[in-house]
Amino acid sequence: MNQQDETHLRRAIRVSQDARHHGNHPFGAILVDSAGGVVAEAENTVVTDQDVTAHAETNLVRIAAKIHPPAELASHTLYSSCEPCAMCSGAIFWAGIGRVVFALSVEGLLSFFDNRPDAPIHQIGSRRLLTAQDGIEVLGPALEKEAAAAHTGFWDRN
């Protein structure tokens, strides 16, 4: 993890704050090309789109896959405010994105639910699903306290 990774992670965290401000779950993601340029960004829109699959990462993959072929996406990095879930990890895999960097871990997110059995979070995250053998580098968690700020108080009402 380097300074550029931290800069992009902070941008993904800001997108997660925007998602919360727009009435959605506080998750955000950005896609960066091999030169370090931001290609696209997406926030979670589960509530406003009334679509349970509208996670930030899957929204981002939908955008990216329309404009970049998998061979090109292999050199891109997806930065996420939170560790991608199993569904999002599948989308990242099928899109061919070569690198994932995330802030808040699944375990960190679960801490907002006090281990409630009804927590709407699956405990299998990208670190267990995406591997270097798949050609995907996964880094994280990083900047967890910064990423957690968008979640503070949010899940108390949901």
How far are the Cα atoms of 35, 51, 92 from residue 58, in angstroms, in the given order?
Answer: 23, 11, 8
Residues 6+ apart with CB under 8 A from 24: 43, 44, 45, 46, 47, 48
Determine how many CB atoms are found less than 10 A away from the CB of residue 86: 14
- Is 107 part of the annotated catalytic residue set? no
- Find the catalytic residue in 57, 72, 144, 146: 57
Q: Side chain identity at 17, as an amino acid letter?
A: Q
SS3 82: strand
SS3 144: helix
- Among all residues, which ones are annotated catalytic? 57
